[in-house]
Structure 1
Amino acid sequence: MTAARRSPARAAAQWRSDDVVWLDHVRLQPADAEWLSEVRRLTLWAVKVPPGLLAALPRLQWLDIRGGSGVSIEVVDECANLTYLAVNQIRGVHDLSALGRQSNLRLLSLYGLPQVHELPSLAELVHLRRVEIGSMKGLSGLGPVLEAPFLEEVLLMKAVGLSDTDPEAIAAHPSMRAFEWSALGGVPDATWVPVMDRVGLPSATVMHASDWFDRNP
């Protein structure tokens, strides 16, 4: 029996369809790339991932990384085909520099990363259309995100750190068409309402990623 066939991760995999899988609290090994090779959408919940494994999955387009711990998201480096990336509540993460190299991303979602203070420039992400950021009050601002040249939608959720110039920069972005700050969860009206007023754009809709892709094929 091959290593891939006796893999504990494979035994624990929750298949949503032939190419959509969830993994929860397991440790992946390099040999797991064999049985994951046809996966298109992958959710990793507190999963240990060896360097290079995700980059070895040729069909991987959606990646949702949740929970666990680490200092960076370098595991996504060289994942050449990602169109959707979600990074959610990874304890200790402060380095998101790998985002700036995800040139095929169309939708990026970041949530619950309190130790991230600076985001990398997204200037090379020419396909990026929507960014969602939530519960990241330590951010110094959205300037690097707004360098994405064709960004159309920004959705903020709960407490997010903005710079004094972010509202005007969002409003002035040449391709921006929608903005929303869904501030439920302790953000005072005196914080988010003036930002909405200063941006002055139609509201970005809160929706699941699959719904967004259905609307934006």
Structure 2
Amino acid sequence: MPGRREPPVPIWRDGGSLWLEHTALTEADLEWLRPVRRLTAWAVQFSPGLLAQLPDLELLDLRGGSGAHIEQVRGCSDLRVLVVNQIRGVTDVSAIASLPRLHLLSLYGLPRVTQLPSAAHLPELTRVELGSMKGLDGLAPLLEAPSLRELLLVRAVRLTDADPTAIRNHPTLERFDWFAEDVPVKTWMPVRETVGKPTVKVMHVGDWLDKHGTR
């Protein structure tokens, strides 16, 4: 029929894991989406409030596509892992601050993001991965996370002069590393030396969640 909406083609994996590519999801998809626990979405558009209605969603991996913000995650109150990877045009990631159960945050390839939201009200945030974030005004809002234990930087991440000391002095931070393959040694080496903490183990976010348990 003309104008009829083609349904998305989901790829389900074991344990309620779902992979979707290049589609748009609306309230009409809610019924079949409800069982999802871990969602990887490549260039997927979500109607407002849809993700917040998924009762078991614990891991969300948003990749590709375009947009100025990540408001689609707002209201996902039980989300434990959030990945935002190379979404063109993103400047606003303030919705992260609305995820009170977040344990792991991974942001990569978002060069237009200048300001991170305060993590002061994310009491369970223990691991953060930041990569290719050249536009940042520094890590100060992130370092307000009261239970942060691991911080991993990948490639070019813009820090302020005060950030290395703030990382070192964070009261709960145990591990730090910077995989700075495209960063001059004179930039990253002093940071590592100032922080002076054991290195972070590199893990896939799903494996990390498996290790640290699910609800």
Structure 1's consecutive aligned runs of 4 or more residues displaced over 3 angstroms after TM superposition are none
Superimposed CA distance per residue, residues 22-50 of structure 1 (whole angstroms, 9 cap, x where no aligned partner): 00001112111110001100011000111
In structure 2, C-alpha distance between the alignment counterparts of 1:170 and 1:95, rounded to whole Å = 23
In structure 1, the gaps of 5 or more residues are: 1-5
* Cα drift, residue 210 of structure 1: 2.4
* Cα drift, residue 7 of structure 1: 5.5
Matched, 1:154 2:151: yes
Counterpart AA for 1:170 = I
Find the partner of 2:62 among 58, 65, 68.
65
Give the SS at the match of 1:8. Answer: coil
Q: In structure 1, what is the equivalent of residue 129 of structure 2? A: 132
Give the SS at the match of 1:35. Answer: helix
Find the partner of 1:145 among 142, 147, 158.
142
Q: In structure 2, what is the equivalent of residue 117 of structure 1? A: 114
- Percent of pairs identical after alignment? 56
Would you say how many aligned residue pairs link Structure 1 and Structure 2? 209
Matched, 1:8 2:4: no
Rate the CA distance shift 1:214–1:61 in 2: closer, same or farther, 3 A.
closer
Q: In structure 1, what is the equivalent of residue 175 of structure 2? A: 178
Q: In structure 1, what is the equivalent of residue 183 of structure 2? A: 187
Q: In structure 1, what is the equivalent of residue 80 of structure 2? A: 83
Q: In structure 1, what is the equivalent of residue 27 of structure 2? A: 30
In structure 2, C-alpha distance between the alignment counterparts of 1:70 and 1:191, rounded to whole Å = 31
Rate the CA distance shift 1:89–1:35 in 2: closer, same or farther, 3 A.
same
In structure 2, the gaps of 5 or more residues are: none
Task: State TM-score, norm by structure 1.
Answer: 0.94
In structure 1, C-alpha distance between the alignment counterparts of 2:72 and 2:6, rounded to whole Å = 20
* Cα drift, residue 8 of structure 1: 1.3
Task: State TM-score, norm by structure 2.
Answer: 0.95
Counterpart AA for 2:7 = P
* Cα drift, residue 214 of structure 1: 3.5
In structure 1, C-alpha distance between the alignment counterparts of 2:123 and 2:15, rounded to whole Å = 30
Matched, 1:206 2:202: yes
* Cα drift, residue 18 of structure 1: 4.9
Contact 1:7-1:32 within 8 A present in 2 as well: no
